Amino acid sequence: MAENVEIDARLVKAPCVRPYTAAYRDAVIALVLEIQNVEYRINLSLGEQPDLLSIDEAYTGTGGGFWVALAADQRVVGTLGLQVERGVDGALWGVMKKFFVHPDFRGRTIGVSEQLYSALLAHAQRTGLRGIVLDTPSVAERSHAFYRRVGFQVITSAQVPLIYHFPDRNSLLFRLDLAQSTS
């Protein structure tokens, strides 16, 4: 007699990564705020993140991009943005923001983080960026491990190569020089 086995639908079809469109706006905002304020308890309001209200302008309008990961049912389960800024050295630098993955879709077996990051990195390399910087809450230890694994290094605020304002919520800063990237 065959055993009745329940198959996790998330593993049957891995989420796909797509460029952001306005159709995903509300789902992106909901996912980001849920992870920031419920999971990590850093208490950032939507008003403190105006980029979420104008993603096209804040990301693609700077020469960067914004990507979403969609589950098989088309739910937004991941986000990642890249803004492009001119550094104090005159070079173009990327600022990585809004890297969030729904807890049910985390981990290497599903690969959402890797897919989102690959889309961002390919765009950064095509754009000719010198490197990428990011800030992340100190409590996001899984994220720190991911950043280190793909080549980012922790830096101080004095080592940030551009004028970069971020909502300091006990954050760590990371930097990746693309010439040294080994993703």
Asked if residue 139 belongs to a domain, the reply is: no
108, containing H or E segment: none
Q: Answer whether residue 57 is part of any domain.
A: yes
Residue 22 belongs to domain spanning? 11-131
Q: How confident is the model at residue 96 (pLDDT cuts 50, 70, 90)?
A: very high
Could you tell me which residues are beta bridge partners of residue 81? 66, 97
Contact 163, 126 (CB under 8 A): no
pLDDT tens digits, 128-139: 999 999 999 888
**Tell me, what's the pLDDT at 181?**
45
Q: pTM value?
A: 0.88
Cβ atoms of 68 and 20 closer than 8 Å: yes
Of the pLDDT bands very low, low, confident and very high (cuts 50, 70, 90), residue 9 is very low
Torsion of Cα atoms, 136 then 182 then 85 then 16, to 10° = -70
Domain CATH code at residue 94: 3.40.630.30
Q: Is residue 25 part of a domain?
A: yes
Phi and psi at residue 172, to the nearest 5°: -105, 145
Domain count of the chain? Answer: 1
Separation in Å, CA 100 to CA 17, 113, 116, 148: 13, 8, 10, 17
Residue 6 lies in a domain: no
Tell me the per-residue pLDDT of 36-88, one tens digit each, with 9 for 90 and over.
Answer: 999 988 888 999 999 999 999 999 999 999 999 999 999 999 999 999 999 99
> CB 129: neighbour CB atoms within 10 A?
24
Residue 86 lies in a domain: yes
